[in-house]
């Protein structure tokens, strides 16, 4: 855990320990072809509730999948939103929509998961957007 050689450590707010948990739980993203598969494995996708023609508009996050990965991504997102201006702006936008903090962190966690997946698959470093 002293040294993690992965592009996700180039993301501001993700240190070696959090990167090690994420990479260990995802097998360095080798088992996944798309970022949506990682989201489903972590249990970060919304639940679907339908009955007849009625579809729920207030979906909760499903609680299946790896609870350790979900915990690591969710907590990493809080730090990334603190240190990276793009994620900070995104979180502020969700908060301005009236969402509570933990509810607003959820879409940011999904965005972070897609970014991490892309970085690992392309083996590129994170470049902050101005």
- pLDDT, tens digit (0-9, with 9 covering 90-100), for 23-37: 999 988 988 999 999
Contact 80, 107 (CB under 8 A): no
State pTM to two decimals.
0.85
* Structure-model confidence comparison of residues 102 and 92, the more confident one: 92
- pLDDT, tens digit (0-9, with 9 covering 90-100), for 62-95: 667 888 999 999 999 999 999 999 999 999 999 9
Selection from 116, 129, 47 nearest residue 90 by Cα:
129
């Amino acid at each position: 855990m002293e040294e993690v050689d992965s592009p996700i450590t180039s993301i501001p707010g993700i240190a070696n320990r959090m990167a090690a948990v994420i990479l260990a739980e995802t097998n360095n993203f080798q088992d996944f072809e798309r970022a949506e598969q990682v989201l489903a494995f972590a249990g970060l996708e919304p639940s679907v509730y339908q009955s007849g023609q009625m579809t729920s508009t207030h979906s909760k996050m499903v609680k299946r999948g790896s609870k350790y990965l979900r915990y690591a991504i969710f907590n990493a997102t809080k730090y990334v939103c603190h240190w990276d201006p793009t994620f900070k702006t995104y979180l502020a936008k969700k908060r301005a929509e009236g969402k509570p903090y933990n509810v607003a962190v959820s879409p940011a966690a999904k965005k972070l998961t897609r970014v991490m997946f892309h970085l690992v698959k392309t083996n590129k470093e994170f470049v902050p957007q101005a």
